[in-house]
Amino acid sequence: MFFAAENISKNFEGLKVLDHVSLEVGEKEILALIGPNGAGKTTFFNILSGIYTPTEGKIRFKGKSIAGLASYQIAERGIARTFQNLRLFPQMTVLENILSGFFFKTRYGLADALFKTKRFKQEEEKDVREACEISGFIGLKNKENELARNLSYGEQKKLEIARALALDPSLLLLDEPTAGMNHKETENMIDLIRKIREGGIAVILIEHDMKVVMNISDRIIVLDYGETIAEGRPEEIRNNEKVIEAYLGKRT
């Protein structure tokens, strides 16, 4: 399997937030992770992206174990993420935000920067060109030199995805990409996620908007109180008793 997390558990001082959750994603697959608030979805993302280390469990990506690696090492291996509440670099420009994703790939050192060597110029030029391509792809053309904090909320959400794409990932973790968006913006986001997948990137997304989830995901995993309660195709999940119960409560 391209990406597999097996039996992931996470305890915070005895509080069990995740209990043996497993998940697999195939190449170019869109997998949705849903569940009521506090189900452990974001914690799961934080484990996958190396911000937390799991108490138990294995994570394999492209045949190699990545559990316990630092966040930046996981990013280098091709897993990029966005955050539920925007975590841009607000005082930096759009372009600089995107360029940050090229950091580890850019091949020059401090000395090259100090003496403005040929390599420095070439690498910088290449990075800026690629960053402009990404901003064009994401729909932030001509905003490259604006500060991130001056963008509208929808644009900031896009920029976060653009920044993640700069890592040239093969797996993208999106934490509530359409939260707080209006109908039109949500539509655009759905198109964008599809386009990203067509570009050869697998996507795991946490999402509360069921229209989005049912619309774009190939498969859905439902978490409740840190446990997987259902897994399947959208139409299967829609009618699953356990899922309805988790969201709405028991039928009387």
Partner 1 sequence: MLKKAKLLEIFFIVIIALAAYLLHLKQEFYLVHILSLAGIYVLLALGLNMVIGYTGLLDLGFIAFYAIGAYSAALLSSKGFSFWAILPISILITCAFRFLLGKPLMRLRGDYLAIVTLGFGEITRLILNNWDALTNGPKGLPRVGETIRPITLFSFHLNSEISYFYLILFFVAASIFAIRRIERSKIGRAFVAIREDEIAAEAMGINTSYIKLLSFTISAVFAALAGVIYAHWIGFVSPESFSFWESVFLVCMVVLGGMGNILGIIFGVILLVGLPEFLRITLGGEFVLYRMLLFGLLMVIMTILRPQGIIPEKRRALELKD
Task: Give 100 or 215: the residue with its C-beta nearer to partner 1.
Answer: 100
Q: Is 64 in the site for partner 1 (CB under 8 A)?
A: no
How is residue 38 annotated by DSSP? T
Distance between CA atoms of 190 and 65, rounded to whole angstroms? 31
Q: Is 99 in the site for partner 1 (CB under 8 A)?
A: yes
Smallest gap from residue 252 Cβ to partner 1 (A): 44
Q: Is 237 in the site for partner 1 (CB under 8 A)?
A: no
List, in order, residues 6 or more apart from 142 with CB less than 8 Å away: none
The span of 9-17, 59-67, 75-83, 205-213 binding partner 1 (CB under 8 A) equals 75-83
Q: Would residue 59 be called left, alpha or beta, if left means φ above 0 and alpha means ψ between -120 and 50 degrees?
A: beta
List, in order, residues 6 or more apart from 112 with CB less than 8 Å away: 119, 120, 123
Q: Is 207 in the site for partner 1 (CB under 8 A)?
A: no
- State the DSSP string of 142-156: T-TTSBGGGS-HHHH
Exactly one of 12, 103, 153, 247 binds partner 1 (CB under 8 A); which one?
103
Exactly one of 6, 29, 56, 144 binds partner 1 (CB under 8 A); which one?
144
Q: Is 91 in the site for partner 1 (CB under 8 A)?
A: yes
Show the binding pattern over residues 120-139: x = contacts partner 1 (CB under 8 A), - = does not. Answer: x---xx-xxx--x-------
Question: By C-alpha distance, which of 218, 219, 234, 202 is closest to 3?
Answer: 202
Exactly one of 1, 65, 68, 104 binds partner 1 (CB under 8 A); which one?
104
Alpha helices in the chain (DSSP H): 41-48, 71-77, 94-99, 110-115, 118-138, 153-165, 183-198, 210-216, 234-238, 241-248
Are the C-beta atoms of 137 and 121 separated by less than 8 Å?
A: no
The single-letter code of the amino acid at 9 is S
The span of 10-18, 88-96, 184-192, 201-209 binding partner 1 (CB under 8 A) equals 88-96
Task: Give 121 or 242: the residue with its C-beta nearer to partner 1.
Answer: 121
Smallest gap from residue 129 Cβ to partner 1 (A): 4
Distance between CA atoms of 134 and 98, rounded to whole angstroms? 8
By CB under 8 A, name the binding residues for partner 1: 49, 51, 70-72, 75-76, 80-81, 83, 87-93, 95-96, 99-106, 108, 110, 112-116, 120, 124-125, 127-129, 132, 144-145, 147, 163, 166-167
